[in-house]
Structure 1
C-alpha cells in the first residue's frame, strides 16, 4: 500500500493536482532549478484535515492545465536563490561546482526540465512511473520555496500520517536506511514548510526531530544559523538557547562559542543578532 501511494506521487494516473518542485541548487550561479512534477489525489487529501490549508496558503496562483510531465511554458525553470528564501536547504541536491561545463551559465532548457529524473535513494535517479492520460486536466502549482524532497515527504505525510526525517548534516550521525529514502526530508526544511502551511502536528514532529539532532557537537553552529534566525521561529531559538546553556561547560561548546561570537562581532553573522542579544541577556540575568 505504501509503495502504491508513493508511486502515485510521481504519476498522474489517479490524480487531479500537479506540483512542480525544484530539486537542485547551483551556488555559484545563485539559482535553484530542475523542477520535477509531483502529483496528488484531492479525494485522498480530503481525508486529511490539512487539505484546505494546502491549497489556501500560498497557492492562489495555481492554474488549470494538462496533467503531464511538461513544465509550463509561461514559467521559468529556474529561480533566484534569494527568492527561494532558504539557500542552505539540505533537501536540495547540489551541482558539482568543481566541474564546470561550457554551458553552465544556461538555465536548464524546457526539454531538460521536463525530462529531469525523480530522485530515489540518494544518488540514484528514478524514472517517473505510470502512464499519464493524454489531455487530462487538473490544478497545477509551481512550488518556489520548498524542495522536491521536502514536498514529496509532505504529500506522503498527508496521505498516510507518516514522516521520516534525515539527520542534520551538522550532527555527523550515520544516516539510517529509512532516512535516505526518497520520501525522507530534513526536519528543518519540513518545519519551515509546515509552519508556512499551518500544519501544526507535522510542525511539531519536525520540531522534535530537530531537537533530537542537537547536542554539544553542533548546537553552536545551529544556534547561529540563518534557519534559527528566521522571523517567527521563536520556539526554535528558545529551544536551542536552552540546549546551548545546558552544554555550555562542554569542551566543544567552550571552543566553538567564542569563535562564533567573534564572527558576530566582526559583522559576519548579521542574521544572528537576536541570538547574541539573548545570550547576553541570559548571562547578565
Structure 2
C-alpha cells in the first residue's frame, strides 16, 4: 500500500498542502486520504526494455463536490537507492470533479520503493484558511491512533472574538448519558462547549444550536442543574452494545450508594445523578452566574461527544482499542482510564456511528481506519458479526476483505461457530453479512456479491 512518511504539511500563504508518500513497485496503489479529502493513485507499467512508466492520478474522493478555482499540483519523485530527484509540475487543475492523470515519467525499476512529494496549491480567490502549525505525529502502536486533521481556523477566531464581549467562552451545555446499568442507559453528564465552534463544525450542531426549526435549547445557568432538560433524555435509540462509549456498570455494587432509577433511567438521587455540573452548594451565589443554553442529546454517549468537541478544538482524534482485541476478561473500560492523563479516547465504532449520523465524512473515514487498525485474525469473525457492523455496508466490505485476505484455519473455525449461532437464530440480523461474506469467499468481487445478496433479499 501507499504509506505516508510524515503528516501533511499545511501552509497558509498561499494556501497549499504537501503530502509525503512512499510505495513499493510495481503495482497500482491508492494513497491514504490526504489534505481535506483527496487521494492519489499510482500505477507502474513495464516495457520490454525493462523500463518502467509511472502514472499518477488525482482522485478528489471526499472533496469531489467542492467548487474551487483552478489549482496547481507539483510532484517531486524521489527515486530509491540514491537516484536523483525529478520535479514534475506545476500542473494546473480545473476543479475537484474528475479523476485526472497528472503525468507520466520513465525511470529505472531497480529500486524497490518510490517516494513522492505532492503539493496542491490553491487560489487565494477561494478564501481558504489552513492551519500553519506542525501537527502532532501519527501514532500507530496497535492500541490507539492519534490522527491530526485540518481545523477551522476562521471559526476559532470568530469564537475568540465573541468571547471578548462576554464573561465566558462557554455558552452551551449538553446533557448525554454516560453509562449503561443493567441494560439501561443511566448517569447523565453535562458537557460544556462554545456554540460558534460547535455550530460551524457540522450541519447537525448548526441545526441543533441555531436553526429555529430544530432549536431546542433551554435558557439556563451553566453552573446549575437543569431537571427539565435531563427529562428529555430517552433510554432508547443507542442502537448497539458492541464497543459503545457508554461505561458498563455490571452489578448493584458498582452503582453509587443512594442512586436508584428515575424517569427514563435518569438517576434520582439528591444531585439528580448529573456529573460535571456545579451545584448551589459549591457556588453559593444568588442569581444566574453564567447564562447559556442547555440541550439534551439522545442516541450518542457522553464520551463520544466529548471526544468530538476535543477534535474540533484541537484538530486531533484519539481512538482506543476494540473490546475484542483485549485478551483479559471483564475490567473497567479502557476509555475511562485516561482522564488523569489529559487524554480523551473514544471507541472508533461509536465515533463512526456519530460521524455517519451527523454527516461528517472526514471523521467517519478516520473512525473507519481506527476500526481497521484493530482487526486481527483472532477477532475478525467477532467484529464481522457484531451488532454494529451489519448496519454499515462499507464496514461489512472492509471487514470481509480482511477476512478473505486472512482466512486461516483459526478464522475458519471461528466462522463455523458464528454460522451455528446464525442458524439457531442467535444473530438474526446478520443474514446479509453472512451471505455477502460467503459470496466473497467463493471468489465474487464486492459489486457482484452485493448484487447477488440484494437480489436474493428482494426475491
Quote the residue 2:436 is aligned against: 278
Q: 1:51/1:282 Cα in 2 relative to 1: closer, same or farther (>3 Å)?
A: closer
Report what 2:99 is aligned to. Answer: none
Tell me what 2:180 maps to: 25
Matches within 5 A, 1:76-225: 76=231, 79-80=234-235, 82-97=236-251, 99=253, 106-107=261-262, 108-109=267-268, 111-113=270-272, 115-116=274-275, 134=288, 136-172=290-326, 180-181=338-339, 183-225=344-386
Q: Distance in 2 between matches of 1:276 and 1:216?
A: 17
CA distance in 1, matches of 2:271, 2:174: 17
Instruction: Single out whichever of 177-186 and 210-219 deviates more from structure 2.
Output: 177-186
1:218-237 residue CA offsets vs partner (Å, 9 max, x unmatched): 0000000110011xx11101
The aligned counterpart of 2:228 is: 73
How far residue 91 of structure 1 moved from its aligned partner, in angstroms, is 1.3
Separation in structure 2 between the aligned mates of residue 155 and residue 220 of structure 1, nearest angstrom: 33
Question: Deviation of residue 52 (structure 1)?
Answer: 3.8
Of 376, 384, 387, 1:226 maps to 387
Moved more, 97-106 or 272-281: 97-106
Match of 1:122 in 2: none
Q: Deviations over 1:105-137 (max 9, x none)?
A: 63211633354359xxxxxxxx9xx97992533
Q: 1:254 to 1:18 in 2, by over 3 A?
A: same
Flag the 1:98–1:111 CA change in 2: closer, same or farther, 3 A: closer
Q: Which residue of 2 aligns with 1:121?
A: none
CA 1:63–1:77 in structure 2 vs 1: closer, same or farther (change >3 Å)? closer
2:198 and 2:275 map into 1 onto residues whose CA distance is 26
Structure 2 CA distance for aligned equivalents of residues 257 and 87 of structure 1: 21
Q: How many residues align?
A: 258
Q: CA deviation at 1:283?
A: 3.9
In structure 2, stretches of 5+ residues that fail to align are 1-155, 157-166, 445-459
Deviation at 1:169, TM superposition (A): 1.1
Does structure 2 conserve the Cα–Cα contact (< 8 Å) formed by 1:37 and 1:69?
no
Offset at 1:199? 1.3
Q: Which runs of 5+ in 1 are unaligned?
A: 6-11, 119-126
More helix by share: 1
* Alignment check: 8 A CA contact 1:34 1:77 kept: no
- CA positional deviation for 1:31: 1.4
| Counterparts in 2 of 1:265 and 1:177: CA distance versus 1, 3 Å | closer
Q: Is the 8 A contact 1:223 1:241 kept in 2?
A: yes
CA pair 160-74 structure 1, distance change in 2 beyond 3 A = closer
TM-score relative to the length of structure 1: 0.77
Secondary structure of 2:370's counterpart equals helix
The two structures, once aligned, show a CA RMSD in angstroms of 3.5
Report the 3-state secondary structure (helix = DSSP H, G, I; strand = E; otherwise coil) of the residue aligned with 2:228: coil
Task: Name the one with the larger strand percent.
Answer: 2
The higher relative CO (CA closer than 8 Å, separation ≥ 6) is in: 1
